[in-house]
C-alpha cells in the first residue's frame, strides 16, 4: 500500500468532503482546499422551494387522491432539484455532510409522504452538519419526518411502538449488540408523547400521551424523556466509536480504521461530540492518503460531481430535464430523499451493476447536453473532470471521439471517474 | 485488520451483505446464460430452487391465521381476522384473505406450510435477523450466505445461482463465488462512436486498483448482456409503482417491488433451459408497525398475484415441474397488537414451499399462543431444517457440510 500523490490527495479531499473539484480547484493545493472545505462562514445557497400544505383527499375520492399524489410528486421533484442544486453549488463540506446524515438517519419520502417534513429534516441535517452530534441526535429523535417514518406517531403511554427506539440504538447511535430488548422497550416508553398531526410538518409534545413513570435503560432508572434517552445512548462509550466509524466508512474507506486511528478520531470527537473536529482529524490521518482508500462513488456523488465539472446547475434545467435527471438517478439506484430502508444505501460493488451502467451513460449524455463545451482533447477532458490520470485502456477508448459532448459523456463513465481513487 | 474486527465493523455498519461486499457480484450476461443453456442445458431431472425473501418481518399470525383461537382474538382485537374472513385450511387455521390463489394451490396439494419456523435466541433487529436467515448462522456472524456456500461447494460457477435484484442479497455470496445478477428491466446502449468507446472502457487494465477493475468488469459484462438481449426482450417501460399510503406503510425495512416481473424473468430463464439451479427474488414493505391489516393484506395479495401464476406456469413444462419455491421473512411479529393497530418485531413465523415436487400440507407444530417467551411465539421448527431439506432434496447437496453440521430435516416435505 502506497501513498497517493499530493495532487491526488487534494482531489480526494474534494471528492470526499465536497462533491468533487471544479476545474482548476486542485491547483490551489491541499491546505487551501482544507481551508475552503472546512471554513465556517455560512453559505447563503438558494432558498428552498415554497412547499404549501397538500390538500387531503377524502376517503374514496379517486380524483382528489390522484390530484394529491400529483401535487406531492411535484413537490418532491422541486425539493430534490433544489438539494441537488445546492450540492452542485456548495463551496464547503456542509452539503456533503448533509448528504451523509441523510444516509445515516435514512428517512424516505416513500412512507413519510410529506415533502415539507422532509425539507425540515434536511434543514436540520444542514444546520448541524459539522456541529455537535448531541444536537443532531436531539433534533432527530423528535423530528417530524422521522416520527412518521418509524411509526413514533403511534407510540403512546400504554401502547409503546418500538420502531424508532430500536433503530435509534441500532443504526443511529450505538450499533447492534450494545443494548438489550429491555432497553428497547423502556426507550420506546421514554419516546412516548411526541406526535405529528396529519396536516402538520412539525412534531409536538402531548403530555397526556407521555408515559411519565420511571424507566430503566442501560441499568439506570429515572423518568427519562426523549432527550434524556438520547443522552443515555450517546453517553455509552461504544457510541463515539460507532459514529466515527460510520463517518470513516462513507468518507474514507470501507476498511475500518486501525485501533490507533480510531482512538485519535474518538479523542477529536470528544465530549462535545464535535463532527468538524473529527473531519479535520480524518484529513490528517496517514490512511486518508493511502492508495487503498478508494471508493466507488455513490450515484448522487457521481452525478453532482459531473455537474460541478460541467458548470451546470439543476436549478436552471427545465422541468422535463429535471425529471430525467431523477429518472437517471433512479436507474442507478439512488434518489435523494428516498433511501431503500432505514439502514441507508448500500456501497461498493452494489453500485456496479449492469443496469446501473446503462443508466449512468444515459444520464451523462443528458448532463453534457446542458453544458457549453469547447473543443477538448482526451487529456483536456481528464483535467475537466479532475481525474488524476487515464489508463492506457481509457485513453484508447476515448481516442476515437472528437465531439466534446460525446467525449465527456463517455469519459464520465470511465472506471477512473466512477471510482474515487 | 483481523477478520473479527472487520466483521464487527460490517455488522455495525448495518451492512448485512458482508460477504457480498467482499466478493462483489458477478454480472453475468445473457450470452453466458443462453450459451450455457445450449451447451449444457438444465437437465429436466435437475430441480431448481426459487427463494422469495419478504423484507420487513411478515406477520405470520395474520398470514396463516388461528382465527378460531380465542387467545388470538384476545391478543389483537382490532387486528384479528374472524373465522369467516379467512380461507380455511383445517387444523383451526386459515389463510389471509389476500392469498386466494395460494388457497387454490393448497387445495391442489402444491402448497406446504411449515409452521413456527425460527432460530434459537431470536434477534429483533431487521438487519441482524435477516443476516441470520441468509447466512444460516444464528450464533455468530459469518461472511457467507447459505446458497453462497453451496455455490462454493459446487465448483464455484456463478451461473449456478442468479439474483433478479438490483443488488446482490447476502444469501448468494460465497467465500470464493458470488451469484450472478441480472436486472429485470431492459438494457439498451447507443451505437456508433459512443457505443464503441463505451464498450472499450470495459477492457481490463493491468495493475488497476480493485474498485476500478470491478467497474471495468461490470462494463465488460454489460456489453455481452446487451449483445444477446438486443435491448428488446425485456425492454419494459418503467411502471409507475402504485404508491399509496396503505402500501408504503411498512416500507422502512427495504426489499424489492414488482415481484411479478422478477418471477416472469425467472420463468423465462427456467423454460429456456439455463443451467441455473437457484434464484433469488424479493418483496419489501412488511414492517407493519401501524395500521397493519390493510397494508399486509395488500402486500400478501401482491405476493399471491405473483406466485400463483408463476407456479401454474411452471407446472406446464418438464423443467418447470422441477421448480420448488421457498418463501420466508426475517421474523414474525408480536402476538399482541401494539396499540397502533400494528405489531412490533417478533419471532417465529410460517414458511411456504410451493411447486409440483412439494408434498402439500402442514409441517411443524403451530406455536402456542399461551406458552410465550417474553410475549413472543416460541419456534417449533429450526429454519436450518428447511434449508437442509432443500439442499438435499432440491439441490442434491451435502446439507450438513453447508449448514455447519446441522442435520435436521423435514420428512415428507418433498416428493421423492
Q: Where are the domains of chain B?
A: 3-21+44-185+239-402
Residue contact B215–A347, C-beta within 8 A: no
B182 contacts in chain A (CB < 8 Å): 354
Q: Answer yes or no: do B124 and A108 touch at CB < 8 A.
A: no
Q: Closest Cα partner for A293 from B217, B210, B12, B204?
A: B210
Residues of A in contact with B219 (CB under 8 A): 357, 413, 415
Check whether B26 has a pLDDT greater than 60: no
Helices within B230-258 (DSSP H only): 245-248
| Dist CA B10 CA A343 (whole Å) | 12
Which of B11, B208, B251 is closest, CB to CB, to A391? B208
* B52-65: average pLDDT: 96
Q: Which three cell numbers stand for residue B215?
A: 467497474
What pLDDT digit, counting tens, does each position of A19-64 carry?
999 999 999 999 999 999 999 887 878 899 999 888 777 778 888 8
Judge whether residue B233 has pLDDT over 60. no
Among candidates A126, A114, A124, A80, which has minimal Cα distance to A196? A114
Would you state the cell numbers that stand for residue B412, as one nine-digit string?
415428507
Q: Is A419–B374 a contact, with Cβ atoms under 8 angstroms apart? A: no
| Beta carbons of A175 and B12 less than 8 Å apart | yes
Is B13 or B335 the better-scoring residue by pLDDT? B335
Phi then psi dihedrals of residue A38, to 5 deg: -100, 10
Q: Is B414 helix (H, G, I), strand (E, B) or coil?
A: strand
The chain B residue lying nearest A167, using CA atoms, is: B125
Band (pLDDT 50/70/90 cuts) for residue B209 is very high
**Predicted pLDDT of residue B175:** 79
Distance from C-alpha of A380 to C-alpha of B316, rounded to nearest angstrom = 59
Cβ neighbours, 10 Å, residue B114: 24
Cross-chain residue pair A414–B221, CB shorter than 8 Å: no
The C-alpha atoms of residue B381 and residue A281 are separated, in whole angstroms, by 51
The whole-angstrom separation of Cα A149 and Cα A107 is 6
The answer to whether the CB atoms of A341 and B209 lie below 8 A apart is no
> For B203, what's the count of Cα atoms within 13 Å in the CB-facing half-sphere?
15
By DSSP bridging, strand B93-95 and strand B64-65 are: antiparallel
Among the listed residues B140, B231, B153, the one whose alpha carbon sits nearest the alpha carbon of residue B189: B231
* pLDDT category of residue B2 using cuts at 50, 70 and 90: very low
What is the architecture, at CATH level 2, of domain B3-21+44-185+239-402? 3-Layer(aba) Sandwich (3.40)
Give me the pLDDT at residue B268, please.
81
Q: What is the pLDDT of residue B224?
A: 61
Cβ neighbours of residue A302 closer than 8 Å, sequence gap 6 or more: A332, A360, A412, A417, A418
Is the Cβ–Cβ distance between A164 and A150 less than 8 Å?
yes
A21-A377-A307-B192 Cα dihedral, nearest 10 degrees: -140
Domain ranges of chain A: 132-291, 295-420
User: Looking at CA atoms only, how far is residue A246 from chain B in angstroms?
Assistant: 7
Ranges of chain A with pLDDT below 50 = none
- Cell (9 digits) for A238: 461504544
- Contacts of residue B295 in chain A, CB cutoff 8 Å? none
pLDDT at position B227: 55
Whether pLDDT at B225 is above 60: no
**Please, which pLDDT band fits residue B229 given cuts at 50, 70 and 90?**
very low
Taking alpha carbons only, the member of A108, A136, A116 closest to residue A202 is A116
- Cell numbers 430435516 correspond to what residue? B409
CA distance B409 to A208: 52
CB B299 within 8 A of CB B250: yes
**Nearest CB partner across the interface for B198, out of A111, A153, A361:** A361
Average of per-residue pLDDT across B11-27:
39
Q: Which of B188, B193, B212 sits opposite A406 (nearest CB)?
A: B193
Contact list, A59 vs chain B (CB under 8 Å)? none
Say what the pLDDT of residue A106 is: 96
CA distance A226 to A141: 7
Contact present, B66 and B95 (Cβ < 8 Å): no
Say what the pTM is. Answer: 0.80
For residue B253, what is the nearest residue in chain A, using CA coordinates?
A341
Cβ contact (<8 Å) for A156 and B244?
no
Whether A393 and B204 lie within 8 Å, measured CB to CB = yes
* E strand or H helix that includes residue A137: helix A133-141
Contact B251 A291 (CB under 8 A): no
Nearest-neighbour CA in chain A from B400: distance (Å)? 29
Residues of A in contact with B225 (CB under 8 A): 354
A251: its cell numbers: 468518507
Rounded-to-integer distance, Cα A264 and Cα A280, Å: 11
What pLDDT was estimated at residue B237? 47
Distance from CA of B402 to the nearest CA of A (A): 25
Query: Mind giving me the DSSP string for B123-173?
Result: ---HHHHHHHHHHT-SSS--SS-HHHHHHHHTT--GGGEEE-SSS--GGGB
Inter-chain touch B290–A151, beta carbons under 8 Å: yes
DSSP B113: E
For A63, which DSSP code? H
Burial of residue A15 (CB within 10 Å: 0-12, 13-18, 19+) is buried
Set of chain B residues whose Cβ sits within 8 Å of the Cβ of A350? 17, 20-21, 25, 167-168
* Mean pLDDT (chain B, rounded): 84
pLDDT per position as a tens digit, A305-359: 999 999 999 999 999 999 999 989 988 889 999 998 898 888 887 788 767 888 8
Show residues of chain B in contact with A413, CB under 8 Å. 198, 201, 219
% chain A with pLDDT above 90: 82
Low-confidence winner among A45-59, A384-398, B342-356, B393-407 (lowest mean pLDDT): A45-59
Residue with C-alpha cell 420511571? A214
For residue A103, the model assigns a pLDDT of 97
Task: State yes or no: pLDDT of B13 exceeds 70.
Answer: no
pLDDT at B236 over 70: no
Each residue's pLDDT tens digit, B271-307: 877 778 999 999 999 999 888 999 999 999 999 999 9
* Averaged pLDDT for residues B386-390: 97
Confidence (pLDDT) at B242: 53
- Per-residue model confidence (pLDDT) at position B61: 97
Cβ–Cβ gap B126/A343 under 8 Å: yes
Q: What is the DSSP string of B280-304?
A: EEEE-----SSSHHHHHHHHHHHHH
Nearest to A416 among B15, B185, B212 (CB): B212
DSSP characters over A103-115: HHT---HHHH--H
Q: Which residues contact B277 (CB under 8 A, 6 or more apart)?
A: B42, B46, B47, B48, B49, B160, B161, B395
Q: How much is the pLDDT for A8? A: 97
The continuous run of DSSP H or E covering B361 comes out as strand B361-363
* CB contact set of A66 (below 8 Å; sequence gap of 6+): none
Q: CB–CB of B244 and A69 under 8 A?
A: yes
B129-145, pLDDT tens digit by residue? 998 999 999 987 787 89
Q: Does the structure show a pLDDT above 90 at B248?
A: no
Of B124, B177, B197, B86, the C-alpha closest to B347 is B124
Residue B6's pLDDT is what? 30
Spatial separation of the C-alpha atoms in residues B34 and B47, rounded to whole Å: 18
Query: What pLDDT is stored for residue A347 in this prediction?
Result: 85
Complex ipTM value? 0.92
Beta carbons within 10 angstroms of residue B386's beta carbon: 24
Predicted confidence at residue B29, as pLDDT, reads: 58
Helix (H) or strand (E) holding A194: strand A194-196
Q: Give the Å distances, CA to CA, from B268 to B271, B304, B404.
A: 5, 19, 34
pLDDT value at residue B4: 30
Residues of B whose CB is below 8 A from A251: none
The DSSP string of A221-288 is EE---HHHHHHHHHHSHHHHHHHHHHHHHHHT-SSPPPHHHHHHHHHHHTTTTBHHHHHHHHHHSGGG
Q: For chain B, give the percent of residues with pLDDT over 90.
A: 57
Among candidate residues B143, B139, B188, B160, the one with its CA nearest the CA of residue B26: B160
| Res. B185 pLDDT band, cuts 50 70 90 | low
Record: contact B253-A342, CB cut-off 8 A = yes
Q: Do B167 and A333 touch (CB under 8 A)?
A: yes
Q: What mean pLDDT comes out for the span B65-87?
A: 95
Amino acid at each position: 500500500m502506497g501513498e497517493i500523490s499530493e495532487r491526488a490527495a487534494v482531489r480526494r479531499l474534494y471528492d470526499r468532503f465536497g462533491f468533487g473539484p471544479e476545474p482548476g480547484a486542485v491547483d490551489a493545493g491541499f491546505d487551501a482546499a482544507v481551508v475552503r472545505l472546512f471554513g465556517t462562514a455560512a453559505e447563503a445557497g438558494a432558498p428552498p422551494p415554497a412547499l404549501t400544505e397538500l390538500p387531503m383527499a377524502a376517503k374514496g375520492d379517486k380524483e382528489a387522491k390522484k390530484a394529491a399524489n400529483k401535487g406531492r410528486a411535484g413537490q418532491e421533484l422541486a425539493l430534490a432539484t433544489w438539494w441537488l442544486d445546492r450540492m452542485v453549488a456548495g463551496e464547503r463540506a456542509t452539503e456533503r455532510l448533509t448528504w451523509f446524515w441523510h444516509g445515516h438517519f435514512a428517512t424516505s419520502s416513500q412512507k413519510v409522504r410529506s415533502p415539507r417534513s422532509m425539507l425540515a429534516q434536511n434543514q436540520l441535517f444542514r444546520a448541524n452538519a459539522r456541529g455537535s452530534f448531541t444536537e443532531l441526535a436531539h433534533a432527530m429523535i423528535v423530528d417530524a419526518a422521522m416520527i412518521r417514518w418509524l411509526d413514533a406517531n403511534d407510540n403512546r403511554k400504554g401502547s409503546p411502538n418500538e420502531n424508532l427506539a430500536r433503530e435509534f440504538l441500532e443504526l443511529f447511535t450505538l450499533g447492534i449488540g450494545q443494548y438489550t430488548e429491555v432497553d428497547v422497550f423502556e426507550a420506546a416508553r421514554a419516546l412516548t408523547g411526541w406526535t405529528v398531526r396529519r396536516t402538520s410538518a412539525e412534531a409536538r409534545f402531548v403530555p397526556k400521551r407521555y408515559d411519565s413513570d420511571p424507566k430503566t435503560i442501560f441499568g439506570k432508572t429515572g423518568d427519562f424523556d426523549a432527550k434524556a434517552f438520547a443522552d443515555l445512548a450517546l453517553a455509552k462509550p461504544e457510541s463515539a466509536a460507532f459514529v466515527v466509524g460510520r463517518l470513516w466508512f462513507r468518507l474514507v474507506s470501507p476498511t475500518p480504521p486501525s485501533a490507533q486511528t480510531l482512538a485519535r478520531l474518538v479523542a477529536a470527537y470528544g465530549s462535545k461530540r464535535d463532527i468538524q473536529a473529527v473531519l479535520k482529524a480524518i484529513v490528517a490521518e496517514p490512511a486518508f492518503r493511502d492508495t487503498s482508500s478508494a471508493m466507488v462513488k455513490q450515484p448522487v456523488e457521481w452525478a453532482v460531481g459531473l455537474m460541478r465539472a460541467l458548470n451546470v446547475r439543476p436549478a436552471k434545467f427545465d422541468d422535463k430535464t429535471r425529471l430525467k435527471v431523477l429518472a437517471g438517478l433512479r436507474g442507478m439506484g439512488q434518489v435523494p430523499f428516498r433511501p431503500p430502508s432505514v439502514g441507508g444505501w448500500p456501497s461498493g460493488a452494489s453500485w456496479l451493476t449492469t443496469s446501473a451502467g446503462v443508466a449512468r451513460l444515459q444520464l451523462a449524455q443528458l448532463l453534457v447536453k446542458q453544458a457549453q463545451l469547447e473543443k477538448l482533447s482526451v487529456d483536456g477532458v481528464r483535467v475537466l473532470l479532475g481525474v488524476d490520470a487515464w489508463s492506457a485502456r481509457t485513453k484508447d477508448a476515448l481516442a476515437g471521439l472528437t465531439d466534446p459532448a460525446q467525449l465527456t459523456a463517455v469519459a464520465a463513465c470511465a472506471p477512473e471517474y466512477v471510482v474515487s481513487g | 485488520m483481523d477478520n473479527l474486527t472487520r466483521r464487527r465493523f460490517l455488522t455495525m455498519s448495518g451492512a448485512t451483505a458482508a460477504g457480498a461486499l467482499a466478493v462483489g457480484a458477478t454480472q453475468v450476461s445473457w450470452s453466458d446464460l443462453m450459451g450455457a443453456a445450449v451447451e449444457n442445458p438444465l437437465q429436466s431431472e435437475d430441480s431448481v430452487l426459487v427463494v422469495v425473501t419478504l423484507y420487513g418481518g411478515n406477520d405470520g399470525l395474520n398470514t396463516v391465521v388461528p382465527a378460531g383461537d380465542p387467545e388470538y382474538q384476545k391478543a389483537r382485537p382490532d387486528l384479528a381476522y374472524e373465522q369467516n374472513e379467512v380461507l380455511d385450511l383445517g387444523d383451526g387455521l386459515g389463510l389471509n384473505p389476500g392469498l386466494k390463489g395460494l388457497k387454490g394451490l393448497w387445495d391442489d396439494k402444491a402448497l406446504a406450510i411449515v409452521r413456527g419456523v425460527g432460530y434459537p435466541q431470536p434477534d429483533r433487529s431487521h438487519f441482524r435477523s435477516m443476516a441470520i436467515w441468509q447466512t444460516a448462522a444464528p450464533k455468530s456472524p459469518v461472511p457467507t450466505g447459505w446458497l453462497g456456500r453451496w455455490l462454493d461447494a459446487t465448483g464455484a460457477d456463478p451461473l449456478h445461482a442468479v439474483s433478479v435484484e438490483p443488488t446482490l442479497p447476502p444469501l448468494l455470496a460465497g467465500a470464493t463465488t458470488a451469484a450472478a445478477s441480472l436486472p429485470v428491466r431492459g438494457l439498451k446502449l447507443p451505437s456508433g462512436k459512443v457505443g464503441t468507446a463505451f464498450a472499450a472502457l470495459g477492457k481490463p487494465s493491468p495493475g488497476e486498483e480493485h474498485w476500478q477493475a470491478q467497474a471495468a468488469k461490470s462494463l465488460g459484462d454489460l456489453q455481452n448482456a446487451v449483445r444477446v438481449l438486443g435491448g428488446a426482450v425485456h425492454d419494459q417501460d418503467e411502471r409507475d409503482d402504485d404508491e399509496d399510503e396503505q402500501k408504503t406503510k411498512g416500507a422502512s425495512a427495504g426489499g424489492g417491488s414488482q415481484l411479478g416481473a422478477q418471477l416472469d424473468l425467472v420463468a423465462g430463464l427456467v423454460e429456456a433451459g439455463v443451467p441455473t439451479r437457484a434464484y433469488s427474488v424479493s418483496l419489501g414493505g412488511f414492517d407493519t408497525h401501524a395500521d397493519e391489516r390493510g397494508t399486509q393484506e395488500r402486500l400478501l395479495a401482491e405476493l399471491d398475484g405473483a406466485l400463483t401464476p408463476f407456479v401454474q406456469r411452471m407446472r406446464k413444462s418438464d423443467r418447470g415441474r422441477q421448480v420448488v419455491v421457498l418463501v420466508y421473512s426475517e421474523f414474525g411479529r408480536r402476538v399482541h397488537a401494539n396499540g397502533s393497530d400494528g405489531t412490533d418485531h417478533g419471532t417465529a413465523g410460517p414458511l411456504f414451499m410451493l411447486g409440483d415436487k412439494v408434498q402439500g400440507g402442514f409441517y411443524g407444530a403451530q406455536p402456542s399462543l399461551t406458552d410465550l417467551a417474553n410475549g413472543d411465539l416460541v419456534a417449533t421448527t429450526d429454519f436450518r431444517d428447511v434449508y437442509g431439506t432443500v439442499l438435499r432434496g432440491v439441490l442434491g447437496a451435502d446439507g450438513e457440510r453447508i449448514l455447519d453440521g446441522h442435520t435436521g430435516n423435514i420428512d415428507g416435505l418433498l416428493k421423492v
